Structure 1
Amino acid sequence: MTGINWEEPFCGEGANCFRIGTDPTGNAYIAVAGQEDRPLTDSREALRALIRAIKAGEADHLL
């Protein structure tokens, strides 16, 4: 996918690496590092909410 500005990979303890990206039209993306051609797509606000939930420990059961 072109036009996505990918951040550096974030890697957890089990070496699960993810990348977060945004595009100029306001969409946000999250993908497994190395699989950026198959990202999940949503709004930037939805991505912010996901990150806030993870930081607050509200998504630990998903990890």
Structure 2
Amino acid sequence: MTGITWEDPYCGEGNNCFRIGTDADGNAYIAVAGQEERHLTDSRDALRALIREIKAGKADHLL
């Protein structure tokens, strides 16, 4: 994964671990830890919006 800087994995209680990454072109990435080659890509702004919504509890029904 050249060009992507991955953060440390985030692991919920008993759930899969996810990693968030960014690159120099302003893209953001999210992947299951250990499967970074199968990532989703979007803008950093879209990733920020996703994280804000998750923190606000708007994805709790998916868990």
TM-score by length of 2: 0.95
**Pairing of 1:49-60 with structure 2 (within 5 A):** 49-60=49-60
Post-superposition CA distance 1:18-56 (Å, at most 9, x none): 000000000000000000011000000000000000000
Letter in 1 for 2:18: F
RMSD: 0.8
Letter in 1 for 2:46: A
* Residue aligning to 1:36: 36
The structure that is helix-richer by fraction is 2
* Residue aligning to 2:21: 21
* Residue aligning to 2:62: 62
* Residue aligning to 2:3: 3
Q: What is the deviation of 1:14?
A: 1.4
- Moved beyond 2 Å, runs of 4+: none
TM-score by length of 1: 0.95
Letter in 1 for 2:42: D
What is the aligned length? 63
**Structure 1 portions without partners, runs of 5+:** none
